[in-house]
Every structure is written in structure tokens, then in C-alpha cells.
Structure 1
Amino acid sequence: MMESAMRRIVAGMLWLACGCALAQAPGGVVFEDGNGNGLRDDGEAGIAGVAVSNGRDVVRTDAGGRYVLPMAPGQTIFVVKPAGWRAPAGADGLPAFWRQQPLAQASGLRYGGIPAGELQPQVDFALQKADAADTDLDVLVFADPQPKSRTDIGYYRRDIVEPLVGHVRAALGLSLGDIVDDDLSLYPEVNAVTTSLRVPWLHVAGNHDQDTDARDDADALQTYRRNFGPDTFAWEEARATFVMLDDVIHRPGQKPAYIGGFRDDQFAFLEAWLPSVPKDRLLVVGMHMPLFEQGGRDTFRDVDRERLFGLLREFPHVLVLSAHNHTQQHWFHDASTGWHGAEPLHEYNVGANCGAFWSGVKDDAGIPDSTMADGTPNGYATLQVRAGGGYALAWHPARLRDGDLAFTGAMALHAPKVLRAGAYPAWAVYANVFMGRDDTRVEYRIDGGEWKPMRQTPQPDPRLQVENVRDDLADALRGYDRSPEAEPSAHLWRGALPTDIGVGEHVVEVRAFDAWQGEQRASTRYRLLEAQP
């Protein structure tokens, strides 16, 4: 065994030295694609020091851009795109930083899985030099577009993507899973919509992106990988390093049929790659399932979360991005969830593109309202990465109502229209601050008076409760699917409305101090009227 291992090592060294394609040492070349044709032409030099992986092992290219890497049927081979370079777009518009090895035999999965064929021992990758400007990195963050039909793809296109076309500042885009809602045949059409933004786009898989007929977790993302590449990989920019992780464990025959967690090969990849990651920039970890437990249920394997936290502990600048819940909140991990870093670990659980699954009453353009169960409007997020590990986040509602000062990009207000003058002040204005955190300062004032603090209250948003009642009382369906049942919101504030300030109309102003966007305002009105017993 020892002599055999030594022979393999010597063979690999000879291959690196002479560039010979030995059967014992599959690999390839990472090269600078000067003319952008995706092929290595005469004079196009190899690129040294680029990480290449099969999803478990990580190797680096030599001075000539060559690498040796174990390859097996069904593996996805990829480069970790280095800062200062870009991966050219493939025919599907996505960055061509990966190649899929075929299976030895067809999987028989409903949506096709990975096709069968001969193992390709030589896998080359083209990279092109990118603009080296030392500027902040703008990133679009999508989550759960989750169309179940071509009608829903139309909503995604018109509601989320088309308003951004021609106005995109972002240099990178991320999708945090549930690219579709179980119908994996929709992948090409969804991808065509997303890539119309002409932004390099990275994906992770969600629980609705699985081959549900797969017999085990190892085969559950075959169709996903055929369309989007590796389910776990890394990507480097000058301002940030990104690692995208499949964190959905497929459990056929069990209830629930999935749970949050990671595989051993994913940890092997992280253990091999993370030691090379600079600690002076932001490390962004993207996934679908939140790391925190949801609704008092065991939704993530504790041992996997703690093992990941152990690998991230020494990094001073980490941001976790997750999705899945179709609500929005900020979570700060500490020892209670197994995090033992110097500072709490910030996880931003991003709201959904589809909001509440493209539900609710349609507007004049025929697009469903789709407000999420916590009162957050559907939309998308942005991440701006700054020097030294700093960052700023923002949520962007898909649609705003012109002239509606109570519903802005930052918050939505709800208050009664009329109260009795002199009544006990039991009624309130509510502010749903979409990016609100527990430490967010939210204040209100009446008629330009003194600013007073509002109280954070974990209860359902009254705005959505009104829709629930309207659905209940309607004699006919108001939409294809009704709005979701309102549930307690993590970012709702309450301020009691005074009733002793005179008959007539009164202006209510609310201001919230966003951690990244600064002061945000909204306003509404209510009237006080005289009444007799």
C-alpha cells in the first residue's frame, strides 16, 4: 500500500513537471483566455496559484497553470475564482467556473439528473482579467423566487428582474435557494430571466430544488448540479470571499423529509480551503436553511452547526446569508447556539422574491401582493461590501405605491383612521420596519411634537391581519391563493395614539434609525371625533 501511494505521488509530480496527461493523474490547466473564446489558444498562459476542487479535495495550479486532482463519475469540478479575475459566461449566461463529470450509468431520476458518459480526465478552465479598481463591492441578493408554474416565472420576471434591467450597479448576484418550487423542469426558464440582468450569478440549492425521487442525500441534487454546478463552492473578490453551501439534508421516507445540515465532503472542502482565506476581508457564507432553530422545532443538526462555527471562529469578519422562511429577520449567534467567536455572528435571514409564494390580491398589473407572513413586502436585498470587512445591507420592496407615505422602502405603518376624542388611549400606530433589529431605535411624534420611543412588540402585523379578515369575509376568491395568515413579526414597533389633543386630523410621523441606511421616515394620519354615549 505504501509503495502504491508513493508511485501515485511520483506520477503526479512527473505530470506537473512535464505536462504529460497520465491516467493516474487527471487534471487540467487554468489559463488566461485572452480572446474570450473559452479555448486555450497558442500564447495563452496558464495562471499560477488558482484553487481547483472536486467538492472535497482542493489543489493549486503550478507556475504553468496546471493542476492534478482526483476525479470520479458524477463529481462537479470547479475553480475558486480568484480576486482580480472573472469567469466568462457560458451559453446559459452563468459563470463557467465548473464542469460536470458524467455518471457511469444513468440515474433514472424524474428530471434527468446527471447524464451518463465517459469520465473526462482533462478539465481546463478559462479565466479573464477583471477590472482591478479598489472600490466597494455591490451584490444583489435574491432568495426563494420559487415559481411553481410559468405564470409564476412571469411574476418573477415582471416584479423582481425587469425593474432592475438597465439600473444594476451590482458586480455579483446571489440566489439563496428554492430557485423553483419542486418542478425542476423550470430551471432553464428561471435562469434565462435571472441572467437577463447580465450580472455574474451564483446559486445555492434549497429544499424545493431537490430530486425528491432520489434514494439518498448524495443523489438529491443531480438535476440542480446539471443546471447550476457545484452545490458547495467558493468565489473570491477583492473586498470579500464567498462560500456557498448546500445545507439541506434529504431524508426520503422520513418526516420531515429534510433537515438542515452538512455532509462530510463539504467539511473536507472547507477544512482544505479556509486556511488560505484572508482574514482582513469579509467572509460571506451563503445557504438556504437558517442556522438558527425555527418555531421551537429541531430544524438544523446541532453537531453540523457547531462544526461549521468551529471552522469560522477565527475569522473576524463573517456574515451569514440564509433564506427559506419567507419572512425576514436578523439573528446574532452567541454561545447559546454554539458560536464562540470574539463577537456575535450575524445571520441575515433574507426575505423571499416570491414573498408569500406569489399569493394575495393582484394589483393593476396583475401581480399578486404576496406580502410575507411577518408583514414584509416581497422583494430583494442588496449587500455592499466595504474595505476591512465592513458591509451594509438593505431590503428593497418589489413595488411601492406612489404617494403612499405610510408604505416606504423602509417600513409600513398601520393606524386607525378615526378615534373618539377623550377615549382611553388603547389604540396605536404600528411600524413594521423591514430591516429592524432588536437594537433598532424607532420613534414617533404627533403633529410635529416631541419624538417618543416606540416599543418593539412580537405580534402579527395589523396590516396583514386586515387582509386576512377581508379574505375571510369575501364571498368569492380574491386571488389565486389568499394572503398568508399573519404571524408574529420580529420587526414590529407600537406607539399609543393620544386622544386628548383636540378634535380633528393629526399627523403621525415615524422615524427608524437603520444600522446601515441611517434615518428612515414614514407618516400617516388619524382623526379624533366627538361622540355621545
Structure 2
Amino acid sequence: MRPSVAACALSLALIAPLTALALPPPCNSGTVYEDRNGNGRRDDGEPGLGGIRVSDGVELTVSDAQGAYHLPVVDGRSSFVIKPAGYRVGRRDNGLPDFSVNVQREPGPKLKYGGVPASFPSCRDYALISEPADARRALDVLVFADPQPKTATDVGYYRRDIIEPLLAQRGGRGAIADLGLSLGDIVHDDLSLYPALNRATALLGVPWLHAPGNHDLDFDAARDEDSLASYRHVFGPDTYAWEEHAASFVMLDDVIYRPGQNPSYIGGLRDEQFAFLERYLAGARKDRLLVIGVHIPFFDAAPGRETFRRADRERLFALLREFPRVLLLSGHGHIQRHVYHDAQDGWHGAAPLHEYNVGAACGAFWSGIKDAQGIPAATMADGTPNGYARLGVGADGAYRLSWHPARLDAVAASTPAMSLHAPRVLRRGAYPAFGVYANVYMGQDESRVEFRVDEGAWAPMRRVAQADPNLQAENARDDQATALRGYDRSPEAEPSQHLWRAALPTDLAVGEHRIEVRTLDPWQGEQRASTVYRLQDAKE
């Protein structure tokens, strides 16, 4: 038995007959050790590891030469080891990484989904398994935002639409990725779905980190401090760090719950989280990429509407300023976009700060007509297909991003990079007022998107703030239907941040003409898609 746990268990046995007033101080101590045989318990000859950071999301300590650490005991916190590069941790029965323990001596408020059960002691030894990585190898990270199932049926969609295709891609080639991230709204209000969703994600065999979202709250909690109790019971800490050979990850709860107010939540960070950030970042390496994962984006969703508290954003950005490579990852919006923060947002670094607002795994809440496999289209309101992202990080901290649609057959002329929309037929000689549209899923303000017809010269397309015409057409089909086409119809199309347009020529020969569109993705290189239209003569 591990020494620290044994001591706590012995204390319990000795004091059981005594009154609560005679209880000794509870334990929030233990040892960080090298688990050489990977069995999850400390055996003879397995040494303690010094210099390993352990935290409770507020305080931060470092293990001594024998691996011992000590933290204060505060109910409602979750203690965790900050996994260092070159090590891995074991997996719990539910597939989640085993790196934390909840501290809850006294019963918390009674909550619909149970909260964190009271337990004593909270001693914990942390097992680290040596796993040296090739420092030259790129780190591969899967990034999910908003899986958000409402029902067991939706969990089935998540498994069949996202998880099983990833498993099929792996084949016999080893690990699917080095790490996985989920950026909140793990479920949609029904927290009893956590076990089923975790079982699906665990099939990937990848260490998986979670941040909570606004739909992961205990809505019957009377205050923000208790609103993630049931989440913490399943996933552990809501504010923590994790390190790999090419990047450091900080996952943060950025949902401030405000019961009885309108709106009932806002994006922001608590003072305790800033205390942890200050302590962790003071010793964090600057030669790696620093990734901050949250649910609610740091930018305001609409002008004049504070969706993330500005004072908190500026305070966070001040802490990040000295890091040369930082990437912000967020979810929540069920659209996809890139935002570059500058002085107007409180960022005063040497270069703009990149935030990738990741599209949703559930797309538009698993809505739309079903395909041949019985899975809803789930296209998002900006025309982006549902799916997931990949983050690749090199040894120098440089990163690459890519979006991976779950399915490509929902929209004609679609590729993993974009979807096209063009009229099928135009009158030859008509005024060239009708265009081809390219929805470039990873497009940014400065993206260069070009088109050509029949292998002619490439010409620029113009970025437009309009709704995706493919989704508009789907909206029209839903409107015109006399019966429901699916359980929930597709979302109403909203202006996309990554849509380009060009007018099609009508002075070509009668017949079919091929349209090609290309864009230079900064991370994936040149991406192309094609479609056709036809010119026809007409009489007055």
C-alpha cells in the first residue's frame, strides 16, 4: 500500500469511535513517483520524483527530492499533478486520464446530478510512467468543441459520426493522436449522459482533456462555486495544466454562472484561477507553444455585447504577453472563425494573438435531414459541416491547424477544405450577375481565394459577409416541405466569416463549363474544389 494512503487509512481506523471533534486534520498530501511497471500503485523500488508540480487550481507546490508534496485542504477544489513532458499517466475505468482527486470532506448542496460525494481522506499518490518522446516529432492533437448530445440517440450520432470514422482511419498504424481536447458543452444539460459519451470517446485510446461549458452546469446550484460539482465528480479539475514535449496546455472553466440574472452566465475567470495562472505561468517554459483551452470565446460575439468580461480578458492577456507562441482555442458558437487580438482587445504582444474558434462536433445540435446511415446533416449556421480539428505542433512551437468534416456527401462540390455553390444553368449572353460561392471552412480575413473557368486565367474572388447559399437552399426546402423532413430542421443560415464570391462569365460557348476554386491554406497548402455550370441559348 502506498505510504501516505496507508497512514490516512490507519488514522481513520483509530479514530472511528471518536466524535467528529476529535478528527485529525484531513490529508491532501502524497507522493509523486515513477510507476515503472505501469500498474497504478507504488511498488518496492519505484522512486519518488522530485521537482514535479502539483496544484489544486489555486495553490501550486513542487514535490521534494523524495517526491512528497503537500497542499492545503479546501473543500470544493480538485488536486492534480501537472503531467510533465516525457511521462504519461494511467487511465481510469471510464477511460479518462488518472491525474486528479476531488477534495470534499463535508456534503455539498443537494444537486440533481449528485455533485461531488463527501469523502475522507483525500490523500493521493500520483503515478507517472516514463515515456520519452522524440523531441523532433510533431505533436498531434485532436480538438473537439461542443459534442453536446441531448439524448442517448445523440450520443449514438457522436460515436458513429465522429469516433468510428477516426477509428477506421487508424487501421493498424498505431495511435490516432497524442492527445485530445474537448472545449466544453460535453453534453447538453443532461449530465447523466457523461458516462455514455466518455465510453465513446475512450474508444480512441487517446489521453483526453476536458474544459466545461455552459451546458455542463448544475443549474440547480445556488452559486457559481457549486455549479460544476457534478462535472468535477466525473472529469476532475475545471482549471489545470498538462505538458507535452512540444506544447503546454492550460484548460480553464471560463463560464461564470449567475443564477437569477439575465443572462444567467457570462464568459470570464475567477480570482482563484488567476492565482493559479500566475503561479503556473511563472515557471512555464517559453520555448514551447502555450495553448489555452476554454469554452466561451474571448472576443465579443456582437458589437457592444460583452460575452467575455473585458477586465478578465485584459488581465489574462497581460499574463500571456511574455510568451512568444500562444494559441487560444474556444468553442460555444457552433460556427467557425479565426480572430486575431490586438491592442483594442487588451493584447500588447509583439504580434497579434490568434484565437481559433472551433466548429462544433455536433454541428448545429445534431439537426437536419438524415443521410443513408441515419445521421443528421448537422451543418452549422455559417455553412461549416460538423466535424473536428487537428492541431499539429513542431519542436520549435510552430503549429498547424486543420478542419475535418465528419461527412463530405451532404453538399455537392464539397471537399475537406471548402464547399462550392453555383447556378446549374445560365442564359448565354446574360448580364454576369450570378456567381460562384466558395465557403472556405478555415478561411481568414487575409485568405486569398481565386477561381477560373475552363482552365483559363486565375482571378480573385471577393470575400462577402453573406449566408451560405447551400444552407439557404436547405432552409427553403424545409420551408416548402409539407411534413417534417427530420427531427429538427437545419439552422437558419447566418452570415459566414469565410465566404467568397465571383461572378460567372456568360460570354462563353453554349454547353458545360468547369469552375475551379483554389485557396492557399497557411497550414495545409493549396486546396482546390470544382463544380460545373451550363450556358444555354434562349429566345425572347
TM class by shorter chain equals over 0.9
Match of 1:389 in 2: 397
Instruction: Output the amino acid matched with 2:38.
Output: G
Match of 1:460 in 2: 467
Match of 1:328 in 2: 336
Match of 1:151 in 2: 153
Deviates more, 1:72-81 or 1:341-350: 72-81
Distance 1:467 1:381 in 2: 25
Q: TM-score, normalised by structure 1?
A: 0.94
Match of 1:513 in 2: 520
CA shift for structure 1 position 117: 2.8
SS of alignment partner, residue 475 of structure 1 = coil
Residues 1:348 and 2:356 aligned together: yes
Match of 1:101 in 2: 103
Q: Does the aligned pair in 2 maintain the 1:107–1:115 contact within 8 Å?
A: no
Distance 1:401 1:268 in 2: 48
CA shift for structure 1 position 102: 2.3
Residues 1:295 and 2:289 aligned together: no
CA shift for structure 1 position 24: 8.5
Distance 2:486 2:218 in 1: 30
Distance 1:416 1:509 in 2: 14
Residues 1:400 and 2:408 aligned together: yes
Of the three residues 483, 488, 496, the one matched with 1:489 is 496
Distance 2:276 2:119 in 1: 26
**Equivalences for residues 347-496 of structure 1 within 5 A:** 347-401=355-409, 406-496=413-503
CA shift for structure 1 position 25: 7.6
SS of alignment partner, residue 270 of structure 1 = helix
Distance 1:434 1:151 in 2: 27
Deviations for 1:187-231, whole angstroms, at most 9, x for unmatched residues? 010011001100000000000000011111100000000000100
Match of 1:315 in 2: 323
Distance 1:119 1:437 in 2: 51
Match of 1:47 in 2: 49
Distance 1:224 1:519 in 2: 42
Distance 1:97 1:451 in 2: 54
Deviations for 1:121-144, whole angstroms, at most 9, x for unmatched residues? x22111100132221100000010
* RMSD, aligned α-carbons: 1.7
Match of 1:75 in 2: 77
CA shift for structure 1 position 43: 1.1
Match of 1:132 in 2: 133
SS of alignment partner, residue 202 of structure 1 = strand
Instruction: Output the amino acid matched with 1:323.
Output: G
Distance 1:115 1:405 in 2: 51
Instruction: Output the amino acid matched with 2:377.
Output: D
Distance 2:77 2:143 in 1: 27
**Equivalences for residues 222-237 of structure 1 within 5 A:** 222-237=229-244
Q: Does the aligned pair in 2 maintain the 1:405–1:523 contact within 8 Å?
A: no
Q: Does the aligned pair in 1 maintain the 2:176–2:206 contact within 8 Å?
A: no
SS of alignment partner, residue 165 of structure 1 = helix
Q: Does the aligned pair in 2 maintain the 1:107–1:114 contact within 8 Å?
A: no
Stretches of structure 1 that go unaligned for 5 or more consecutive residues are 1-14
SS of alignment partner, residue 145 of structure 1 = coil
Match of 2:211 in 1: 204
Distance 1:227 1:346 in 2: 31
Q: Does the aligned pair in 1 maintain the 2:30–2:69 contact within 8 Å?
A: yes
Q: Does the aligned pair in 2 maintain the 1:243–1:285 contact within 8 Å?
A: yes
Instruction: Output the amino acid matched with 1:321.
Output: L
Match of 2:15 in 1: none
Instruction: Output the amino acid matched with 1:382.
Output: R
SS of alignment partner, residue 303 of structure 1 = helix
Q: Does the aligned pair in 1 maintain the 2:74–2:103 contact within 8 Å?
A: yes
SS of alignment partner, residue 295 of structure 1 = coil
CA 1:104–1:476 in structure 2 vs 1: closer, same or farther (change >3 Å)? Answer: same
Deviations for 1:66-97, whole angstroms, at most 9, x for unmatched residues? 11211222321100000000011111111101
Sequence identity (%): 62
CA shift for structure 1 position 54: 1.1
SS of alignment partner, residue 387 of structure 1 = coil
Q: Does the aligned pair in 1 maintain the 2:26–2:121 contact within 8 Å?
A: no
Match of 1:4 in 2: none
Of the three residues 242, 255, 258, the one matched with 1:251 is 258
Q: Does the aligned pair in 1 maintain the 2:181–2:210 contact within 8 Å?
A: yes
Distance 1:405 1:467 in 2: 12
Deviations for 1:369-425, whole angstroms, at most 9, x for unmatched residues? 0100000000000000012110000000001229x8710000000000011111110
Q: Does the aligned pair in 2 maintain the 1:424–1:499 contact within 8 Å?
A: yes
Deviates more, 1:88-97 or 1:484-493: 88-97
Q: Does the aligned pair in 2 maintain the 1:161–1:194 contact within 8 Å?
A: yes
Residues 1:64 and 2:66 aligned together: yes
Distance 1:417 1:131 in 2: 56
Stretches of structure 2 that go unaligned for 5 or more consecutive residues are 12-23
Match of 1:113 in 2: 115
CA shift for structure 1 position 62: 0.7
Deviations for 1:441-482, whole angstroms, at most 9, x for unmatched residues? 100000000000000001100000000000000000011000
Match of 1:281 in 2: 288
Residues 1:175 and 2:176 aligned together: no
SS of alignment partner, residue 396 of structure 2 = helix
SS of alignment partner, residue 50 of structure 2 = coil
Distance 2:119 2:157 in 1: 38
Instruction: Output the amino acid matched with 2:109.
Output: S
Q: Does the aligned pair in 1 maintain the 2:82–2:240 contact within 8 Å?
A: yes
CA shift for structure 1 position 295: 2.3
Q: Does the aligned pair in 1 maintain the 2:27–2:121 contact within 8 Å?
A: no
Moved over 3 A (4+): 21-26
Q: Does the aligned pair in 2 maintain the 1:332–1:347 contact within 8 Å?
A: yes
Q: Does the aligned pair in 1 maintain the 2:102–2:236 contact within 8 Å?
A: yes
CA shift for structure 1 position 528: 0.7
SS of alignment partner, residue 272 of structure 2 = helix
Deviations for 1:26-49, whole angstroms, at most 9, x for unmatched residues? 411001112222111111100111
Distance 1:216 1:59 in 2: 28
CA 1:43–1:443 in structure 2 vs 1: closer, same or farther (change >3 Å)? Answer: same
Match of 1:88 in 2: 90
Distance 1:251 1:72 in 2: 23
Distance 1:460 1:58 in 2: 48
- How many residue pairs end up in the alignment? 514
